[in-house]
Amino acid sequence: MGAHHRGCGRGHSPPSLPHLHHQVLLQQEEAQEEGENWLVCCQQLHHDQPCTSCLPLNPTSLLLPESFAAALLSPRDGGSTAWQGHGWTHPESSVALPQVQPEMEDLERGVEQKRRGKLQYSLEYIFRKQEVGILTQAVELKAMDSGGTSDPYVIVYLTSDVKNRYETKVYRKTLNPIFNESFTFQVPQAEVSESTLVMQVYDFNRFAKHDIIGEVRLPLASVNLQHVIEQWSDLAVASKVEEEPLGEICFSLRYVPSTGKLTVLILEARQLKRMDSHGLSDPFVKVHLILNRKKWKKKKTSVKKNTLSPYFNEVFVFEVPFSQIQNVDVVISVWDHDKVTKNEPIGKLFLGCRATGNQLRHWSDMLSNPRRPLAQWHILQPPDVVDKALGLKSHLKLPLHSR
């Protein structure tokens, strides 16, 4: 079961959220019951830009469901949107909101902050129905790459619910990206005053650490939510992460359409969460294939004893016909083995056409590069968040097989 493959590059990647672009768009269509409160961070949809994570797919592509692609490419109601009518202000003419970034007494640190760029967003709270925020664009971002540019994307979350982190697509080689995705958070009205909206801008790198360019923190209690808030804000130095990291895993994907062979090579993991009383874990990895939201096939690696950075280098090959590849999700989960009690999940993630962010990007890169193995590091997510995003149905057995 072993395979020869070099380990992935060093460094960290930022957390990834199980946000499904098409589900968010559908949520805007569904009727909300009275009394429910939602926070939506959305970005103006452009007619000439599909909302995908990496590939310029079109509505007829087999790589994404046609209804999914069409929904992303077509604005609702003949081009009108729920946030139409809110004009944008130039950063030089906008009125500053109350201070939302950390205080910086050090002058040099203040200069460093100004070089990080600006982020434009709009926030609207509808008390009886929903809460809406629109993130439109960033300008003058700090160059993070050697070529004097960056590959930026934004992670959005609320401090009152840090597990639900959403991220935009990655924009290649630009310091002035215009984003176009929407995100939805459910927020009880009683919790609004205790919540802070966080928007973090990262520079993408496939094998090295995803460097954070800067962030904007907006305490909702510090603004008047009776009115629409439209603002340019300077990116500040990022604050510490609010939750304990679960670790990272590196694996490669390879798909051959002509034979229907999907190869998953589990390479290594690092900085896993400590699960045992002695400060270590006994990790192993499970690979599940999900077909049409039903469990289909699964494989698992060997157990590595007393380590938080295991090396596996174990390969699994599944038969997935090309006609089914758009309906398949691959779930990668890391577990702590226990001889006495039940095995505990450390973290999970999933890839497929329903994934988002770096997971969707990795999957799309695999489909656009047939026969070529592509390896990448991924941040592990809380198991319950991934399970909720997958929305699995009952177990499914098919005559298709894996080897």
pLDDT at 340: 81
Q: Do 162 and 13 touch, CB atoms closer than 8 A?
A: no
Q: In this predicted structure, which of 51-60, 202-211, 357-366 has the lowest mean pLDDT?
A: 51-60
Query: What are 372's two structure tokens?
Result: 């070529």
CA 186 to chain centre: 18
Domain ranges of the chain: 32-44+81-234, 248-390
Lowest-confidence region among 64-78, 227-241, 339-353 = 64-78
Candidate ranges 7-16, 210-219, 232-241, 360-369; pick with highest mean pLDDT: 360-369
Shared fold status for 32-44+81-234 and 248-390:
yes
pLDDT of residue 211: 85
Which of 3-7, 278-282, 328-332 is least confident? 3-7
Q: What average pLDDT does this structure show over 130-154?
A: 76
Residue 300, H or E segment: strand 294-300
Output the pLDDT for position 250. Answer: 96
CATH of segment(s) 248-390:
2.60.40.150
Give 160-182 pLDDT, tens digit per residue.
777 777 888 888 889 988 887 77
* Cα 51 to Cα 64: distance, rounded to the nearest angstrom: 12
**Predicted local distance difference test score (pLDDT) of residue 22:** 33
Nearest to 285 by CA among 329, 350, 352, 336: 336
Distance, in Å, from the CA atom of 289 to the CA atom of 15, rounded to the nearest integer, reads 23
- Of the pLDDT bands very low, low, confident and very high (cuts 50, 70, 90), residue 54 is very low
Q: What angle do CA 256, 1, 396 make, to 5 degrees?
A: 65
* pLDDT for residue 258: 95
| Averaged pLDDT, 197-217 | 85
Give the CATH architecture of domain 32-44+81-234: Sandwich (2.60)
CB burial readout 347-363, b (16+ within 10 A) else e: bbbbbbbbbbbbbbbbb
Cα 168 versus chain centre, distance = 7
| pLDDT tens-digit readout, 314-362 | 999 999 999 999 999 999 999 999 888 889 999 999 999 989 888 999 9
Query: Who wins on pLDDT, 315 or 99?
Result: 315
Q: Residues with Cβ < 8 Å from 154, sequence gap 6 or more?
A: 119, 135, 138, 167, 168, 179, 199, 200, 201, 202
Which candidate, 301, 298, 143, places its Cα nearest to that of 214?
143
Q: Using CA atoms, how far apart are residues 199 and 218, in angstroms rounded to an integer?
A: 9
Of the CA atoms within 13 Å of residue 182, those in its CB half-sphere come to 27
pLDDT bucket at 401, cuts 50 / 70 / 90: very low
Closest by CA position to 319, among listed 296, 302, 301? 296
